[in-house]
Structure formats: C-alpha cells, structure tokens
Amino acid sequence: MAKKTFHGFWLVQLTFLVALYLQALPMPDAVLYWRPEWLGLVLIYWSLSLPQRVGIVHGFFWGLLLDLIEGTLLGHNALVMALLGFLCNRFYQRIRMYSLLKQSLLVFLLIGISQLVFQWIQGIFGAMSTLGFLLLPALVSGLLWAWVFTLLQGLKRRFALN
C-alpha cells in the first residue's frame, strides 16, 4: 500500500513540474498577458481531487520555485500559491459538486483573487501593472479549466490515485 502512495506522490509532483515548465516558458510580449496560470490550475485540481495530500505546503513550495525561476522577490508567488491552496482546501467539498462550467467560473474567481493579491504585494514594493491585463490570465485559466480537469482526471484514473 505504501508503494501505491509513493507512486501517486511522484505523479502529482511530475504534473506540478510540467506546469512549472509551462509557466516559465519564454513568450513574446504581445501574448505574455494571455498566458494561463498553469501552476495555479494544477494546484487547484490536485487540491480539489486529493485535499488530504495537496494544499498549502505544495502551493508554497512550488510558488517558491516559481519565484526563483521568474526572478521575483522571494515569497511573492509562494504566498499567492499558498493562499490558493488554502482556499481550495477550505471549499473543496462545495467546489467538487459543481458542474465543469461552474467550476470554470470559480477557477476564474480563484485565480483572479490570487492575481489581485499578487498585484497588491507587488504594489507594496513599487511595481504596478494595469488591472485589465492583470485579469487576462485568470480569464484564460478559467476557459482552459475543463481541458486541464479532463486531462488530469484521466491521469488520476489511469494510475488509480485515491
């Protein structure tokens, strides 16, 4: 039984690693604001699917790695991802019973909140951006939620994670 849990641990970490890679891919400036929050989407999925295993600590750890890769001040993304993990763990029973369309709206809301908190933290240190561009990643992430959910749900079923 321990081997199955260990196997599931590495699958979850691999999906986070792929999301971190997608999050850090260089993009042209014209489409940079349209990049979905891959790490946030994966964190939301695993926090809803396996709330006893994935949550605040995973969000903080992978947020720290994102801070290191992006070159932002250490802890900005970590704090935002930990908040996202907390919100998902707090309300996972409610969110899981909604349809994919309602979940997409909630993902838009959750990632929008995380983007606003990140902007607030950046504003404390003097870096600001316009609000319209700030919510575009949340919109794209909400639109991609059904695809990410289906893909990760298939992986979860394929490897029989509980």
3-state secondary structure the chain: CHHHHHHHHHHHHHHHHHHHHHHHCCCCCCCHHHCCCHHHHHHHHHHHHCCCCCCHHHHHHHHHHHHHHHCCCCCHHHHHHHHHHHHHHHCHHHHHCCCHHHHHHHHHHHHHHHHHHHHHHHHHCCCCCCHHHHCHHHHHHHHHHHHHHHHHHHHHHHCCCC
What's residue 32's pLDDT? 82
More confident residue, 5 or 100: 100
Mean pLDDT of the region 140-161: 94
pLDDT over threshold 60, residue 11: yes
- Name the band, by pLDDT with cuts 50, 70 and 90, for residue 1: very low
Number of domains in the chain: 1
For residue 162, is it within any domain?
no
Task: Give the CATH number, domain containing residue 69.
Answer: 1.10.1760
Give the domain range for residue 138.
2-157
For residue 21, is it within any domain?
yes
Q: pLDDT by residue (tens digit) across 51-107?
A: 999 999 999 999 999 999 988 888 899 999 999 999 999 999 999 999 999 999 999
pTM of structure: 0.92
